[in-house]
Structure 1
Amino acid sequence: MRLTLRQLQIFLAIAQTGSTSAAADEVNLSQSATSAALNELEHGLEISLFDRIGKRLQLNDNGRLLQPQANQLLDAARVIEQQFSPGFAQSGAGLRLGASTTVGIYVLPAILAKTHSDSMSYPNVTIANTADIAHAVANFDLDLGLIEGPCHQEELYAERWINDELIIVCAPKHPILNAGVEVKVPLKNLRSAQWLLREPGSGTRETVEQALLPHLHHLNCIGEFGNSEAIKYAAAEGLGIACLSRRVVADLLSMRKVVEVKTTLPKLERNFYLIHHRHKILSARLQDFLTSCRKMSASDKSIRTEHKQE
């Protein structure tokens, strides 16, 4: 065999950093050893993997072809090492989870609490917007993603998970409620209202636009925020109106710091998703965690069915 996993690891580090000197710090080697490993890999494959642009190395078409395959091989090797490390079956250590912000803040902690015991370590958790989590899962940087928006990468498997209700909220004294809290606000008033929105790339932003634009045609965005917490408090201060998960605003609703805006719109709902790479090797620990997530989904469906019957 003409290549090694170490060579692939060094190749990926160079692809990420753009130079052998920067990659050397990532893989704990000298710059000369890193350059030698790249030369050996290119010589063994009889191809060039980078275009040399001054001191910078830029992936060429050969390198872009190798990159996902190298990621997949290294991920498989990492899973093998973890599965046979002492105590791994009883530990969450080594499991890399990614969650979009709403899921990460309001849903994931409950799952971790149910799956955790005193003898276990928590998984490593990354919280970012949906697009960033999906990108990391596609690159094998994360083992599993829990996201609140549609997934567009073909290389990812997306499993529909938990249903989530979206509602429109504002401050109790917002002008849009001039006719009263219980009066349904007409669409023309929603079209002229000032909206508080998540940033582009957010699953919430995409879902809100998909739900509202067919009815309102445009949203007059007065401000964009990097997380839903900032939006709900901005709405509570009267800066605008917002469409957010009921989970996110439940606390401020109970304290009457925001109120739900009644409208003539149909009920707004979305789904959370579990995503992993289609070629991901699912370890026993990851399978157990997925099972816990699915149990939570079944419980969520049962609760919603009971509410409907009431």
Structure 2
Amino acid sequence: MSLTLRQLQIFLAVADTGSTSAAAGLIALSQSATSAALNELETLLSAQLFDRVGKRLVLNDNGRLLLPQARQMRDAAAGIARQFAGADPSVSVSLQIGASTTIGIYLLPQILAQAVRQHGPSIPQVMIANTADIAAAVAEFRVDIGLIEGPCHEAGLLVEPWLADQMLIVAAPSHPLAQLRHLLSFAELNQAGWLLREAGSGTREAVEQALVPYLHYLRPAGEFSNSEAIKYGAAAGLGIACLSHVVVADLLASGQLVVLDTMLPPLQRNFYLIRQAKKVLSPRLSGFLELCRQARHAPA
């Protein structure tokens, strides 16, 4: 008996749904046939792929090892089918784009609009999460490419520097540090309360890498899961924050935030394009990557 694409499709359906009965509904098989196919696959591989937890099937370490390879084979087979069916890949392929929060909210919509103008009305599906989650999704073939705003720690990915991003330290005009008329010292910044992103966020890691060498420690005044909350928290006087210029530009223009003058050097971080090293680039994905690269030269 040899490994079949159908067995891998069934495995992926069970992994996505958590049961053979739910998977059967996705792949138009009976529950018994789905269970039999999964058992055949596990027998063929001489390994259990799921832990049985009550009525649910939960991927174990064997299953997690197989998961990205199974997704890669499924995607490759779908691409072959489209190619030889004469389908137009620019229309039929639905791209899966992953973006970390700042990029997904502030930069990606303009690139998507350009993609629609050049390649037709189909808008890619977008996953927005923190940098660590996007990198994991790219590594596991759950998204085609990722646009992230922090260092990438996943193995097996191609990482391409993309855009430079200016970071600013901001506060409400009424904040005590905003009232001072001198360059703020490291000691003054060290004593301030900082509004921070959650662990795993590219913004959190970039802020810590930029500031901790000078301040040694950031005293948290609050932790938030997105930069919008931090921005408005700073405007409300809850603390100071280090955020991307693209995030705070509107509140700086309206006067609800001010940039603090400090003894720190200019703060800058990089955004990155990431993709799986084994990912096969379709024409549409190659075109989307090129649009992203063109954004490097777009006027600010």
TM normalised by structure 1 equals 0.88
- After TM superposition, list the pairs within 5 Å mapping 1:81-100 onto structure 2: 81-83=81-83, 88-91=88-91, 94-100=94-100
**Stretch moving more, 213-222 or 24-33:** 24-33
Asked whether the 8 Å contact 1:49–1:61 carries over to 2, the reply is yes
- After TM superposition, list the pairs within 5 Å mapping 1:206-285 onto structure 2: 206-285=205-284
Asked whether the 8 Å contact 1:170–1:242 carries over to 2, the reply is yes
Per-residue CA distance 1:39-96 (angstroms, 9 max, x = gap)? 2223344544345566554545544443332122112223334556666444385111
- After TM superposition, list the pairs within 5 Å mapping 1:40-189 onto structure 2: 40-52=40-52, 55-59=55-59, 62-83=62-83, 88-91=88-91, 94-117=94-117, 119-180=120-181, 183-189=182-188
- Residues 178/65 of structure 1: CA separation in 2 closer, same or farther (3 Å cut): closer
SS of the counterpart of 2:117? coil
Corresponding residue for 1:24? Answer: 24
RMSD (Å) for aligned C-alpha atoms: 2.3
Q: CA deviation at 1:129?
A: 1.1
Asked whether the 8 Å contact 2:94–2:122 carries over to 1, the reply is no
- Residues 107/185 of structure 1: CA separation in 2 closer, same or farther (3 Å cut): same
Q: For residues 248 and 201 of structure 1, what CA distance do their matches in structure 2 show? A: 19
Q: For residues 187 and 162 of structure 2, what CA distance do their matches in structure 1 show? A: 34
Q: CA deviation at 1:298?
A: 3.1
Sequence identity percentage: 60
Q: CA deviation at 1:217?
A: 1.0
Asked whether the 8 Å contact 1:19–1:56 carries over to 2, the reply is yes
Asked whether the 8 Å contact 1:83–1:283 carries over to 2, the reply is no
Q: For residues 9 and 136 of structure 1, what CA distance do their matches in structure 2 show? A: 19
Asked whether the 8 Å contact 1:144–1:276 carries over to 2, the reply is yes
Asked whether the 8 Å contact 2:178–2:258 carries over to 1, the reply is no
- Residues 88/174 of structure 1: CA separation in 2 closer, same or farther (3 Å cut): farther
Q: For residues 263 and 69 of structure 2, what CA distance do their matches in structure 1 show? A: 50
Structure 2 letter corresponding to 1:168: I
Structure 2 unmatched ranges of 5 or more = none
Structure 1 letter corresponding to 2:169: I
- Residues 47/191 of structure 1: CA separation in 2 closer, same or farther (3 Å cut): closer
Report the number of matched residues: 299
Corresponding residue for 1:295? Answer: 294
**Stretch moving more, 17-26 or 29-38:** 17-26
Q: For residues 98 and 151 of structure 1, what CA distance do their matches in structure 2 show? A: 13
Asked whether the 8 Å contact 2:112–2:123 carries over to 1, the reply is yes
- Residues 219/115 of structure 1: CA separation in 2 closer, same or farther (3 Å cut): same
Structure 2 letter corresponding to 1:98: G
Q: For residues 58 and 113 of structure 1, what CA distance do their matches in structure 2 show? A: 38
Asked whether the 8 Å contact 1:130–1:148 carries over to 2, the reply is yes
Structure 2 letter corresponding to 1:195: W
Asked whether the 8 Å contact 2:95–2:285 carries over to 1, the reply is yes
Q: For residues 242 and 296 of structure 1, what CA distance do their matches in structure 2 show? A: 27
Structure 2 letter corresponding to 1:33: A
**Stretch moving more, 249-258 or 40-49:** 40-49
Asked whether the 8 Å contact 1:76–1:280 carries over to 2, the reply is no
Q: CA deviation at 1:267?
A: 1.1
Corresponding residue for 1:5? Answer: 5
SS of the counterpart of 2:67? helix
Q: CA deviation at 1:11?
A: 1.4
Structure 1 letter corresponding to 2:117: S
- Residues 113/256 of structure 1: CA separation in 2 closer, same or farther (3 Å cut): same
